[in-house]
A and B are shown apart, each in its own frame.
Chain A
Amino acid sequence: MTAAAPEADKLSQYVYGIVAQGTSVPDVAGVGGGRVRLQLLGDVAALVSGVPDPEVIGLPAEVRAHAAVLDAVAQAGPVLPMRFGTVVPDVDALREALGPDAVASYQEELDRLGDAVQYTLTVRYREGAVIAELVEEQPEIRRLREATAGAGPDAAYYERIRLGELVVHGFEQKRVNDAAALTDALAPVVLELRPRETAQVEDVLEAAVLVRRGEQRRFDNTVEALASQRVDRMSFRLVGPQAPYDFVAGT
């Protein structure tokens, strides 16, 4: 914990998150290069840094700084991320905004999430492998594939659209079972799994998962095993451990 420099107190304060008192601040540059410090708020503390010009927050480097600070803190202990872009005019405003009730609820939340970290798991189909399955399984796709083979870009337009539509629909049908199987297999090694809305045809599952600190290795091994069993059809991407962005209240 470091004492606030007098000038830093007068600046607007960027608020990263809430931590337990006595949490050590990692040596990571804050938003706009500011020095991150703790601001005590009763039984908990806020991670803050001074920002000279709060009007311009939102640049890529600032997005990264927000996450870098929170993720670094999360390696060692519990942290409740604040919404990106939370800026208070000064330290007093922060104290005013977070009264005893807010502090008590943060304390509860820190206890609830204290023993856990978040990972983000993204599983995507290998496009060629799944299309090959669909060609094999669906006669209509096979027929349209042959009918449109070698056609120029302007020829067989509607057949090509129909073919693409069937293939896209085929991905969607496969996703239902494949995503459920992954979710079931992960259930024993995660505290919670929250799927994000999938946006792409090739997506199988994108999920934020909450993992107990003591079970990170077991979780990792499980993901590895799932990936190795499915290597022909899917690619796995695992980012973390991260701060529990997806699991704080109000998210």
Chain B
Amino acid sequence: MSAVATRSHGSYVDRPSSASLADVVALILDKGLVIDAFVRVSLVGIEILTIDARIVIASVDTFLRFAEATNRLDLQAQGGKDLPELVEGMTQAGSRGKTGGMLSGAKEALIGNRDKDDDERGREEKGREEKPERRTSSKADS
């Protein structure tokens, strides 16, 4: 993936120079022209990603997570200065809370760990070809 516009300084928009694996999968899966009878690929580790994440929203876990976030909220901090930074910190702290697994929804949960690794590796080994796979706890990797 590429991003032509790199106005990273002083920009309010996050323009990732390389998209995450989750981004790419969401982008290309089930899209594009089809030649009859010739899409016959075994989508190793990808099929599972198509599970619809919507069911997560209306779950008790989601409700409890948002109740916790609402309880934790420091309303005074919300009214103070440097709001975006504070909020960002809070959101991130929230997503590492004890209900962490549900926080980013099914899609991310399913490939979350692998994807983070993938991104970090991308930064560390930029330009190198990716290894086909490496061992993580996710089933999607097999």
| A residues adjacent to B (C-beta < 8 A) | 15, 17-18, 29, 33, 54-61, 63-64, 66-68, 71-72, 75, 80-88, 93-94, 97-98, 106, 120, 126-129, 131-132, 134-135, 141, 144-145, 148-149, 160-165, 167-168, 196-197, 199-201, 216, 220, 223-224, 227-228, 231-232, 235-242, 245-246, 248-251
Over the window 76-103 of chain B, the binary record of Cβ atoms lying under 8 Å from chain A Cβ atoms (1 yes, 0 no) is 0011000110111011001000000000
Q: Please, which residue of chain A has its CB at the minimum distance from the CB of B94? A: A127
Cβ of A129: which chain B residues have Cβ within 8 Å of it? 78, 83, 87
| B residues adjacent to A (C-beta < 8 A) | 1-5, 7, 11-16, 19, 21, 23-46, 52-54, 56-58, 60, 62-71, 73, 75, 78-79, 83-84, 86-88, 90-91, 94, 104-107, 114, 118, 129-133
Shortest CB distance A74–B (Å): 9
Shortest CB distance A40–B (Å): 16
Residue in A93, A131, A161, A248 whose beta carbon sits within 8 Å of that of B70 in the complex: A131
Residue in B23, B30, B35, B71 whose beta carbon sits within 8 Å of that of A97 in the complex: B35
Q: Are B67 and A167 within 8 A (Cβ)?
A: yes
If A83-B31, A126-B84 touch, whether A88 touches B23 (CB-CB below 8 Å) is no
Q: Which 7 A-B pairs have the closest CB atoms?
A: A164-B63, A85-B41, A164-B67, A227-B12, A199-B53, A58-B44, A58-B43
The CA-CA distance from A197 to B37 in the complex, in Å, is 28
If A231-B12, A231-B84 touch, whether A97 touches B38 (CB-CB below 8 Å) is yes
Cβ of B131: which chain A residues have Cβ within 8 Å of it? 61
The CA-CA distance from A128 to B77 in the complex, in Å, is 10
The CA-CA distance from A57 to B44 in the complex, in Å, is 7
Query: Would you give 18 A-B contacts (Cβ < 8 Å), ordered by A?
Result: A56-B44, A61-B130, A83-B32, A83-B39, A84-B43, A86-B32, A128-B69, A128-B87, A161-B64, A164-B68, A196-B26, A199-B52, A224-B12, A231-B12, A232-B87, A236-B14, A241-B2, A242-B1
Q: Please, which residue of chain A has its CB at the minimum distance from the CB of B115? A: A60
Q: Please, which residue of chain B has its CB at the minimum distance from the CB of A84? A: B28
Cβ of B71: which chain A residues have Cβ within 8 Å of it? 145, 148-149, 160, 163
If A63-B21, A237-B16 touch, whether A81 touches B69 (CB-CB below 8 Å) is no
Cβ of A164: which chain B residues have Cβ within 8 Å of it? 62-68, 70
If A88-B38, A161-B63 touch, whether A63 touches B54 (CB-CB below 8 Å) is no
Q: Please, which residue of chain B has its CB at the minimum distance from the CB of A29? A: B129
Cβ of A246: which chain B residues have Cβ within 8 Å of it? 31
Cβ of B44: which chain A residues have Cβ within 8 Å of it? 56-59
Q: Are B73 and A239 within 8 A (Cβ)?
A: no
The CA-CA distance from A245 to B30 in the complex, in Å, is 9
Residue in A17, A63, A94, A232 whose beta carbon sits within 8 Å of that of B33 in the complex: A17
Q: Please, which residue of chain B has its CB at the minimum distance from the CB of A232? A: B83
Q: Are B75 and A87 within 8 A (Cβ)?
A: no
Cβ of B75: which chain A residues have Cβ within 8 Å of it? 132, 135
Q: Are B56 and A199 within 8 A (Cβ)?
A: yes
If A127-B87, A131-B66, A201-B57 touch, whether A236 touches B12 (CB-CB below 8 Å) is yes
